[in-house]
Every structure is written in C-alpha cells, then in structure tokens.
Amino acid sequence: MNGREWFCLVLVCITFLPVHAQGWRKITTVEEVCAAYPGKMHEMLEAFDLEHRELTQVKMNYQSGDLVKACKALLDYYESSPSGAHLRRTLPEKTEETITLADTILKNVFVIQNVRGELPWTEDGHRDWHYKGPNNDREWAWLSNRHFQLRTVFNAYFDTGNPKYAEYIDLFLRDFIIASMPYPAVKSSTSVWRGLEVAARAKVWPSVFYGLQKSPYLSSATKLLILSSLPDHAHYSRNFHNENNWLTMEISALATVAAEFPEYKKSGEWLDYAAKTMTQSMIDQVYPDGTQKEMSSHYHTVAARNFELFERICNRADYPLPDFFHETIRQMYGYTAKTVRPDGYGVMNNDGDRTFDSTLILNAAAKFNQPEWSYIVTNGEKGVKPVKEPSYFFPWAGQLISRSGFNPDAHWSFFDVGPWGSAHQHNDKLHLSVSAYGRDLLVDAGRFAYTGAVADKFRGYAKGSQGHNVILIDGKGQSPGQKLAEEPLPDDQWAIAEEYDYAWSSFDDFIDVNGEADHTRLVYYQRGEFWIVVDKITTDRPRRIDALWHWHPDNKVKIERQRVRTQNDHGNLQIIPLGGEPWDVQMVKGQEEPEIQGWYSEEYNKYEPNPTTIYSTRIEETSTFVWVLYPSEKPVAGMKAEIISYDQDEITVRIAEPGQDVREVTLLTSFRE
C-alpha cells in the first residue's frame, strides 16, 4: 500500500467519527467542517470536475494539499457563478416580523398528512429523523424527511426578513446532513434514505443553497455539507430509482442536481441517463388516451407534474426532448380537465384524495392554449365551450365521465370499467361515483392511510370492494383484476351521443367464491335527467347478493321501503330498485363490528362515518337487477319508475316524475360473451 492509498484509507476511517452531542452546532466555518469531516470534504471535491475553467483555483489549492483553501475557493465560485441563476434571490431587509405557521415549524412541530407531531431530540444531540409521529406511522417519518417544511420557513424569511427563519434552515440542514452520514449507497426503505425522500430533498436544497447564497445566516459549513451530500442524492436516484410515478419523482430529482450543479463530474452523464430513462418511462407509464397506468387520479397528477418539471429542467439546460414528450404532458392535463367535477375537485379513485384541481387545470390551459379546459373548470365563465358532448370516455383507462353540462349544478358521474392498474389499486371494478347540483352523492371510500394506526384499522376496507359502490357475491369482494390494458375497450362497450352515454363491462374473480360467478354492470346516463344501472349476475348456483351504495357524509339519507333518497336542502338523489326483488335494505354508518363499513376518507389520515345503503337478497339462478338513480335539486316525491318489458335481449324502463314528460329507455341485456 503506497502513501496516498494509506492516506485515503485513513480519511475514510475518520470521515464519520461521531461528533459529541450538540457538537454539530459549533461547526459553522470552513475550517471547522474540514477538521470534523475531512474525508467527506475530500470526497466532495473529488465529485467536482476540477478541469472546469472556473474551478482552477479550487484545483490548485486541492492539488497542493490545502483542503481548507480549496473549499473556500469553491464557495467563492458559487457566490457569483452563473449556476442556479433562476434560484438566486435578493435578500430582504432585516425585520422582526413573524409568520405563525413558520414559527410552529421552528419548534420542530410538523403537520404531515393532517397529523401534527413534534420531532424529538435524541441522546446524540440530533433531532430524531426516524420519528414516526404520534400515530407510529412510517409515512410520517418518510414525509418529514422530504424537507417540504423548509420551503415554508424559506418563504417566511423572504417575506419578513426575520433572521431566525434563515438561522433555523442553517441548523436544520447541518443537523440532518451530519446525522444522515454515512451515505449507505444501497437501496433502502429507511426514514432517511428512501427514494422519494432523497428525490424531494434534492429538489428543495438547491433553492436554499442559491437563494441564501449571500446570506450571513447560511453558514459556510452548511453550504459545503449540502455540496457534499447532493452527489449522494444523485447517486441514489441514478442507481436505485423505482418505476411508475416514483420514477418520475426520482429521475426529475437526478436531473435537478445535474442541471443546477453542472460542475459535478457526472452531471452530463446524469442528465443523459435522466432523459433516456424518463422518456422511456413516459412511454411505459402513459396510455395513448393520456391516462397514467396506476389508474389513480391523484398519482396521475403526480406523474404529470414531474414530467412537466423534467421538461422545464431540460429547457433551462438547453437539453432537447422528443416532441411526443410535450404532447403527452398535454394529454395528461387534458385528462385532468375532462374528468374534473363541476365543483373543481378531481376524480377520487384508487389511492387518492378529494383534490381541488382548478388552479392546476387553469395553468395547464394557459400553457397549452386549451381554452376548452378553462371553460370546463370555470363553469363557463372563461374560455371556449367544448364543441362535443360534455361527457368523455377514456378507452384505455376504461373510465366514463358523464356530465349534463358545465354549469356549477351539472350532473357528473365516474364509472370504472377499466384495468386494475399498475400500483395503488383498489378492488373496485364497476364502481360508480355520482355528484349533482354541487354536492357529492355516491362516493368512493378513499385511501385513509398506508401505514400506522389508521391503516391498521381501515386499509383493508379502503382497498377492498366493501368500500365501493359495487356488488358483493356471497359476502365476498373482488380479487385483483387485470393489471394493465393490452388494448382499448372496443366501441361496442361504450357510447357517447347527444342525449345519452353508457358503458359496460364484467368481472368474474371473487375472493373465495366457488363455481361460476360473474357480475356485468351497464351504466346508462340520460343527459340532464337520470342514470339507469343494470346489474346482471351470472351464476351456476344460489347466491347471496349485496349491492353497496356509499353516500358522502354530508347527505341526509332516508330509507322508504325499497327506495333510498336524500333529504338535502340542495342536491339530492333517489335510488329506485326495479323488478320487485325482495331486497332487505339497511343503512350502516360508522360500523366497526363485525367488519368495517360506512366510513369515508377525503384526505390521508382523515376519516369520518358516512351513510352506506346495503341492498341484500338471495338468488337461485342467473338474475338481472335494475336501478334508477334520479337526481334533483330539491327532494322529489311521487317518482314512478318501472320495467315495462324484459327478455333475454333487452329491457325497457319507464320513468315519470310528477309534472314531467314520461321517459322510456330500452337497453340491451344480451351482453357480449
């Protein structure tokens, strides 16, 4: 072993010697960080392209063996370098003004997915970066390590000029980076070194580094620690990224480091790899109709935003992307615009929340010159009215969005006849959600939580058929269905016309159900008037059938013999079963035993009871059930609905509201085998 190899070995051995409790607080200067972590500083300098003409002084000092001078020269370069120009900020005038939310964070109190928790301190003097929050939820630990809270504090500093906010950022980052060493360089699911958290930090830190570049409150030691840790973050995203929407977040982070810090040796390689990987991932992730394959509106938006972020990064770096990249982002935002509810909230399906999408859609409409999207999301106040019918069908996703129009009180429904999805799936094929007159009526249960106490109680319900508006057979729900679509749904399974639209599909794999059991559902929407739902159960033996209808918690719901209807001041719906089957009708709300039923979660970690109507009966053989879903602004009494003819090929339904024209609708029931 020669002298240089021995020297490097010694450096590796002493790089991560623990600093005594609270000692990290005193490491603020270049001299102090080089003395405490010489190996890490050498490793950092080796990560830079010292042949870069602006880093000549850094190279000279480093080659002469003066680590401190080399690090100082590097900081001198970044103080006025062209890198990160769009992130640099003019420092505010000093004041003592405060912002309450930021002050809460300064106490290490974070609100993560609606759960408030205080990050404790450990015996080694660092914050407990592995703390799982008051619900012992590892999601809380993961998300707190994404450092989004620093954005709030960062903005508070520039809004007020109060030094305490910048000083907190300095201490926070120094604490975290030192506590997180050494970088394990392996794929991990720990609180600190999981891919999504690595990616999020790589997007937050550059704003801090450049925005506070001339601030006296961001210490030289913290700046060098950031520069030493970002290559580790890039290495993780480059080598251990996942697929689907995770990939979009992780690879856009890799591109962020490469574009904002082109002085790293591997920045060019990172950007090349990111572009190649992200482009292929877009092809793999997005169907030709613009829908992301996880089949969750929530994660569809996550992917679209990160594709768009990647496009912006490449534009700033003058790195060309193929034409279809831009067009696919346009299609993805088109999906969000065309599926949005009249109140501006998006589809709530699979793992997702009730998310307000109006601002997102308006921004996309301006960027892509799509005035029709503005019209949809503003209920006609802006933009240009779409030329075609207000309903939309996405043949690869298998999703029918039915609408009566684009006004605030319009009818809206979401019917799922598509594949299970590539991730974040629920067992809910043939689920139907309905809203009208500005009110959610029939709803998906939501996602509740992924881990922790809430998930322990509700996760099975959230993912299972029992939390959706589907049919259980012999008390059993669906198994996972076909994961991905191999082709779009054929034209004979859906239609959108001037006066109506419909779609239908089947499912035949129920958990622990023996023999033949197939559920085929057709949803027909008579524009501006009502929905008709036809459920055909094909079976080779007697079965118990439970039809589930979950209501939004804000609804006042009443059972009237076989019918169920709301009694709201504004926005109502009746469910009218036809055919005279002997249904046992019960209402469940907030049930925990013998099983979870009647719960709703509009946001992660938030939940409440909701009325759930369960229609139960027994059938001896293959049977068909028909339901009329009749919306109205005010409660309507005296509705009449009946089947006037029915055979193996078609069924005709007559619907009459007092004072209104009688409607007759004939639907095919001889579904394609």
Write the pLDDT tens digit of every residue in 402-416: 999 999 999 999 999
Share of the chain above pLDDT 90, in %: 91
What pLDDT band is residue 101 in, cutting at 50, 70 and 90? Answer: very high
Task: Give 45-61 pLDDT, tens digit per residue.
Answer: 999 999 998 999 999 99
Distance, CA of 461 to CA of 459 (rounded, Å)? 5
Last-in-domain residue among 356, 387, 418: 387
What pLDDT band is residue 362 in, cutting at 50, 70 and 90? Answer: very high
pLDDT average, residue stretch 286-304: 96
Last-in-domain residue among 387, 408, 434: 387
Whether 570 is in a domain gets the answer yes
- Contact at 8 Å (CB) between 397 and 295? yes
The answer on pLDDT for 17 being more than 60 is: no
The answer on pLDDT for 608 being more than 70 is: yes
Q: Are 316 and 405 members of one domain?
A: no
What pLDDT band is residue 10 in, cutting at 50, 70 and 90? Answer: very low
Q: Are 617 and 552 members of one domain?
A: yes
The answer on pLDDT for 16 being more than 60 is: no
Q: Are 283 and 421 members of one domain?
A: no
Whether 373 is in a domain gets the answer yes
Return the pLDDT at 8.
41
Q: Are 555 and 476 members of one domain?
A: yes
Nearest by Cα to 90 from 205, 207, 214, 219: 214
Return the pLDDT at 22.
60
Nearest by Cα to 612 from 468, 471, 474: 468
Return the pLDDT at 648.
80
Specify the CATH number for the domain of residue 653: 2.70.98.70
Nearest by Cα to 340 from 412, 393, 396, 437: 412
Whether 54 is in a domain gets the answer no
- Residue 358: Cβ-neighbour burial (10 angstroms; 0-12, 13-18, 19+): middle
The half-sphere exposure of 66 on its side-chain side, counting CA atoms within 13 A, is: 11
pLDDT average, residue stretch 128-139: 94
Last-in-domain residue among 326, 359, 387: 387
Return the pLDDT at 383.
97
Q: Are 543 and 619 members of one domain?
A: yes
Share of the chain above pLDDT 70, in %: 96
Return the pLDDT at 669.
78
Q: Are 336 and 396 members of one domain?
A: no
318-324's contacts with Cβ under 8 Å and 24+ in sequence apart are 319/259, 319/271, 319/275, 321/275, 321/279, 322/279, 324/282
Alpha helices in 95-148 (DSSP H): 100-106, 138-144
Return the pLDDT at 12.
42
Higher pLDDT, 430 or 10: 430
Q: Are 523 and 412 members of one domain?
A: yes
Return the pLDDT at 661.
85
- Contact at 8 Å (CB) between 372 and 389? no
Angle made by CA atoms 59, 65, 71, in degrees to the nearest 5: 55
Q: Are 217 and 114 members of one domain?
A: yes
- Contact at 8 Å (CB) between 336 and 346? yes
Q: Are 195 and 320 members of one domain?
A: no
- Kindly report the average pLDDT of the chain as a whole number: 94
Whether 55 is in a domain gets the answer no
Partners of residue 510 on adjacent β-strands: 478
The answer on pLDDT for 90 being more than 70 is: yes
DSSP assignments along 170-205, one per residue:
HHHHHHHHHHHPSP--S---SSSS-HHHHHHHHHHH
Whether 254 is in a domain gets the answer no
- Residue 395: Cβ-neighbour burial (10 angstroms; 0-12, 13-18, 19+): buried
The answer on pLDDT for 283 being more than 50 is: yes
Return the pLDDT at 659.
81
Task: Give 466-478 pLDDT, tens digit per residue.
Answer: 999 999 999 999 9
In this structure, the chain runs to a length of 673
Q: Are 496 and 472 members of one domain?
A: yes
Q: Are 533 and 586 members of one domain?
A: yes
Return the pLDDT at 7.
37
The answer on pLDDT for 100 being more than 60 is: yes
Q: Are 334 and 394 members of one domain?
A: no
Whether 595 is in a domain gets the answer yes
Report the number of distinct structural domains present in the chain: 3
- Backbone phi and psi for residue 254, each to the nearest 5 degrees, phi listed first: -60, -45
Return the pLDDT at 55.
97
Specify the CATH number for the domain of residue 94: 1.50.10.100
The answer on pLDDT for 13 being more than 50 is: no
The answer on pLDDT for 2 being more than 70 is: no
pLDDT average, residue stretch 479-500: 96
DSSP assignments along 428-491, one per residue:
-TT-EEEEETTEEEE---B---SSSHHHHHHHHHHHSGGGSSSEEETTB-BPP--SS-SSPPPG
Whether 251 is in a domain gets the answer no
The answer on pLDDT for 668 being more than 90 is: no
Return the pLDDT at 580.
82
Nearest by Cα to 162 from 110, 96, 99: 96
Host domain of residue 353: 262-387
Whether 593 is in a domain gets the answer yes
Range of weakest confidence among 7-11, 220-224, 533-537, 632-636: 7-11
Distance, CA of 51 to CA of 43 (rounded, Å)? 16
| Per-residue DSSP letter, 169 | H
pLDDT average, residue stretch 307-316: 95
The answer on pLDDT for 673 being more than 60 is: no
The answer on pLDDT for 18 being more than 90 is: no
Partners of residue 547 on adjacent β-strands: 471, 615
